[in-house]
Structure 1
């Protein structure tokens, strides 16, 4: 049997689609619980969160991270099913970067230029690059396990998208601890941490999701 024929047969297998859908939904829930447990056991909310939550800069971090997590998971939910169109959902991934770019533009428009560098460097870069990958471990492992129940046509890409979704979950938790609220900081350090997790996801997916 040709590979394309086999993929088409799998794509027509409704029970398989249903099973992996439930498995991925469960993986997301368990991954969030693991990441949350690690977050509260390790660092928890920032001390001034009651005040911070009243500021737009603090709240925007969650707009970005939740948009990333949601759009990436929407793609993960479909990428394990052979033959399912992915192009539209792939384009949805640009929503989070576009939101962040708009926030950076707004920040630069309202803040003096001599403050940009300090806001970008911030005070918590090391913690950002440490805790986002650490908090991503549980969700990424759950997504990879769930995707093994499916048949992703491109294992490496599937793993990378799983890494994006996992890092979006992790970044959402971490954002509530991070005291650097400037979009300039978020635009520099969060993507580096997210890229690290995405790379790990790609490598792991290439090895674990082959079929």
Structure 2
């Protein structure tokens, strides 16, 4: 039987091949744990973590990155089935990105001068933020690709991208325990870039790792 025929048969059969939530939950838990250990041992939590948790921006960052991770999960939930699409996940991820980028642009435009706007954009860690998120998310991306490979994805590039988005959202959320940056402008650029780099790597790896 050709691969195309097998895919059509699985799709027509309606078999319960939806990815087990426990499998993806295990991937998220393991990925978050590895990222947390790296933050504690390598990056170190921010010194003012307890007071930062009383502020709104700490939770806004967490909400944004968690939304990106959830978007990746929702996309995988569909893409891991024959002929499945990830429309719900893409819509959520796109909406979260647009809202946060818009907030960042408005915040920068309201700054008193160009130097203040540049400071918002660069913060104190622009040179390392995206790379740190990438490093924190790579273990979960690898675990996720292994898990999704055991399901039934028929669009490997899209499934790999969603897996990277899932990993990036979780990693960026954990990274917030270390990162002291507190502007929409900074987060909209450098956090988003770190997450999207993981999604891009996932798409490239998924082209081969998730092929039937």
Tell me if TM exceeds 0.5: yes
Match of 2:138 in 1: 137
- 1:201 to partner: Cα distance: 0.8
Partners in 1 of 2:89 and 2:188 — Cα distance? 23
Which is worse superposed, 29-38 or 127-136? Answer: 29-38
- 1:102 to partner: Cα distance: 4.1
Match of 1:6 in 2: 6
Match of 1:47 in 2: 47
Secondary structure class of the residue paired with 1:178: coil
Secondary structure class of the residue paired with 2:18: helix
- 1:189 to partner: Cα distance: 1.3
**CA deviation map 1:34-67 (0-9, x unaligned):** 2222222222320011222222222211111111
Match of 1:166 in 2: 167
Q: Which runs of 5+ in 1 are unaligned?
A: none
Partners in 2 of 1:91 and 1:169 — Cα distance? 18
How many residue pairs get aligned? The number is: 210
Match of 1:16 in 2: 17
Partners in 2 of 1:52 and 1:109 — Cα distance? 25
Match of 1:179 in 2: 180
- 1:67–1:95 contact (8 Å) kept in structure 2: no
Which is worse superposed, 121-130 or 143-152? Answer: 121-130
Partners in 2 of 1:29 and 1:14 — Cα distance? 27
Match of 2:100 in 1: 100
TM-score by length of 2: 0.88
Partners in 2 of 1:82 and 1:139 — Cα distance? 23
Partners in 2 of 1:16 and 1:32 — Cα distance? 26
TM-score by length of 1: 0.88
Which is worse superposed, 52-61 or 146-155? Answer: 52-61
Within 5 Å, which residues of 2 pair with 1:22-101?
22-101=22-101
Partners in 1 of 2:47 and 2:90 — Cα distance? 37
Match of 1:208 in 2: 209
**CA deviation map 1:17-42 (0-9, x unaligned):** 35x54432322222222222222222
Secondary structure class of the residue paired with 1:126: coil
Mapped pair 1:150 → 2:151: yes
Give the aligned CA root-mean-square deviation in angstroms: 2.1
